Structure 1
Amino acid sequence: MVVASSWARPGSHASRLARLAARYAGDGVVGFGLSNDERRGRVADFAPAFRIAAEHGLVRTPHAGFFTGAGHVRECVEVLGATRIGHGTSAVADPAVLELLADRQVALEVCPTSYPPFGVHPLAGVPVGAVLAAGVPVTIGSDDPLLFGVGLAGQYALCRDLLGLSNTELAALARCGIAASGAPGDVKRRLLAGVDAWSASHPSP
């Protein structure tokens, strides 16, 4: 479980939830995040909460770069110590931010069907391939399948059929998702072996 506060709540609320997440670190809670519209809060206000999360070894995953620009993604990495970014697709507009994400191996959680309804990206323009090619870890998520009507397998199908990703790239996405997760090491190794087996039986043309 990832415990999340909201950009719309004060930093003190986030710190309370971060302390709660820390209390259960290693007992089912693996991460701490910030959800909601990232335009509704100041990054610096949430630094104390993310310090608590970092001290307890939690994955740190704020939403950024959905409605905001690449600079906001950078700020979340540099000020909050984000290890994953919820969405973050605006980073593609700034090569320096992509380089930062690649250097620190901060994963972007990309959910293709989330963007068209809000005018962020047309579905065919979601920059999964470009971000992946820049060396940034990209994970594919479903965000809210009840709202957007597409589950995780459907998101991968869109990456293949609409965005033109190869089987090699699809396997890379799956590996990134496993590596960036808070799953135990033995689970990661088992899942990565499954991806390798799939990749071996589904080579790219």
Structure 2
Amino acid sequence: MLADSRSVTRAVETLPKAHLHLHFTGSMRPSTLVDLAERHGTRLPASLSSPSMITLSPDERGWFRFQRLYDAARACVRTADDMRRIVLEAAADDAAEGSRWLELQVDPTSYAVHVGGITPALEIVLQAARDATALTGTHVAVVVAASRTRHPLDARTLARLAARHADQGVVGFGLSNDERRGDTAEFAGAFDIARDAGLACVPHSGELLGPDHVATTLDALHPDRLGHGVRSGEDPALLQRLVERGTALEVCPTSNVSLGVYPDLARVPLRQLVSAGATVALGADDPLLFGPRLAAQYVSAREDHGFDDAGLAALAKASISASRAPAEVKRALHAEVDDWLAAPAAETGTGRVTV
């Protein structure tokens, strides 16, 4: 039976959690994007001027529209100050929603032309992450991401850059963009570099494409986590393989619906994945385009999938466990989740996600 939104429940915004799937440009506040566009004289598509959820078709045409909007937003980020602002605001927004550990994903190539190269671009983000950690109390770490749309040698360059900054706040290496582009196996060398440096390997897989793509990603890239991975549930044997490997899934429900993977939030197979024993970390992906941020993903777990407060606490603990936070930080955050669950419940608003 689904949880009654009118029942007495604990606020998801005060639940300590980790946020492991948030993209740099996609984390922007709509108001910040409008401000940057005006400042730099850039014209924005109308759909980027408000925080409403964008719904796209699940085919390449839908992805093309998504990419066009994302590129339009990215074109408004022109200076080091713009980059710092995005990191600081992302941390502040996460802190307001109970996120205590944020792993922000960025491709430095996208901003290098404005700040003198990929190394300065990454170092601007890393310094902003340190500043944001101090200001907000939410620890901000960085995942360097390569794009499937570029050559695998470019990914190796970024992996070496990430490895050189592994002791300065970089905790992982990812592979993003359209899963239908590029040959996954050709990116294995980049992930070997990242793995040898002790970085988490967190490629996107299993959202736009199904279980076969996930299996290929497991075999070729040996990931610690999968960006999305939600369609693993279509193959029970594959899902069990993920469980046995301990490969966590960064599930982003509103992204899944916006990109047309599922028709509504209730169809996202969150309960199936958790019931199978998968480690699931809820994420917001690109709230600039998809609308809801992190807390709303937990609201959906409650409202659409019947997770009670104990179930939400388990999801929060799973996100913390799947993070690259130090062991002592994980222990402390797990204890804070226990405190949240032990505290008296209070009547709260539902923060209902609408599509």
Specify the TM-score bucket, using the shorter chain as the normaliser: over 0.9
For the pair 1:112 / 2:225, whether they are aligned, the reply is no
Question: In structure 2, what is the equivalent of residue 102 of structure 1?
Answer: 243
For the pair 1:40 / 2:181, whether they are aligned, the reply is yes
Q: 1:176 offset after TM fit, Å? A: 1.2
**3-state SS of paired residue (1:183):** coil
Distance 1:11 1:97 in 2: 26
Q: 1:57 offset after TM fit, Å? A: 1.1
Partner amino acid for 2:232? A
Q: Structure 2 regions of 5+ residues with no counterpart? A: 1-141, 346-355
Distance 2:290 2:271 in 1: 22
The 5 A counterparts of 1:53-202 are 53-121=194-262, 122-201=264-343
TM-score, with structure 2 as normaliser: 0.56
RMSD: 1.3
Structure possessing the higher relative contact order (Cα contacts under 8 Å, 6 or more residues apart) = 2
Q: 1:188 offset after TM fit, Å? A: 1.5
Summarize the Cα distance change of 1:13–1:185 in structure 2 as closer, same or farther, 3 Å threshold.
Answer: same
Distance 2:344 2:215 in 1: 36
Query: Which of 17, 23, 26 in structure 1 is aligned with 2:167?
Result: 26
Asked if the contact 1:77/1:83 (under 8 Å) is kept, the reply is no
Q: Deviations over 1:136-189 (max 9, x none)?
A: 100000111221111111111111012222222211111111111111222212
Percent identity, aligned pairs only, is 51
Greater Cα offset, 176-185 or 12-21: 176-185
Asked if the contact 1:101/1:136 (under 8 Å) is kept, the reply is yes
Question: In structure 1, what is the equivalent of residue 51 of structure 2?
Answer: none
Asked if the contact 1:6/1:34 (under 8 Å) is kept, the reply is yes
**3-state SS of paired residue (2:180):** helix
Summarize the Cα distance change of 1:202–1:96 in structure 2 as closer, same or farther, 3 Å threshold.
Answer: farther
TM-score, with structure 1 as normaliser: 0.95
Question: In structure 1, what is the equivalent of residue 191 of structure 2?
Answer: 50
Asked if the contact 1:2/1:32 (under 8 Å) is kept, the reply is yes
Asked if the contact 1:65/1:89 (under 8 Å) is kept, the reply is yes
Q: Structure 1 regions of 5+ residues with no counterpart? A: none
Q: How many residues were matched structurally?
A: 203
Distance 1:96 1:50 in 2: 25
Asked if the contact 1:125/1:163 (under 8 Å) is kept, the reply is no
Summarize the Cα distance change of 1:202–1:66 in structure 2 as closer, same or farther, 3 Å threshold.
Answer: farther
Greater Cα offset, 139-148 or 179-188: 179-188
- 4+ runs deviating over 4 angstroms: none
Q: 1:202 offset after TM fit, Å? A: 6.7
**3-state SS of paired residue (1:40):** coil
Distance 1:8 1:100 in 2: 28
**3-state SS of paired residue (1:38):** coil
Question: In structure 2, what is the equivalent of residue 9 of structure 1?
Answer: 150
Partner amino acid for 1:178? I
Asked if the contact 1:5/1:14 (under 8 Å) is kept, the reply is yes
Asked if the contact 1:66/1:120 (under 8 Å) is kept, the reply is yes
